Structure 1
Amino acid sequence: MFQHPVSGLRVGDILVALDGLAVDGADELIRLLDASYIDRPAEVTILREGALLRRSVRPRERTR
Structure 2
Amino acid sequence: NREILGDLGVYAKLGDKDSLVEVILDLVSNPEKIKELGKKSREVAVKTYSWESVARKFIEVYEKAGAIPSI
TM range (shorter): under 0.3
**Bigger Cα Rg:** 2
Q: Which has the higher contact order (CA 8 A, sep 6+)?
A: 1
Structure having the higher helix fraction is 2
Per the normalisation by structure 1, the TM-score is 0.27
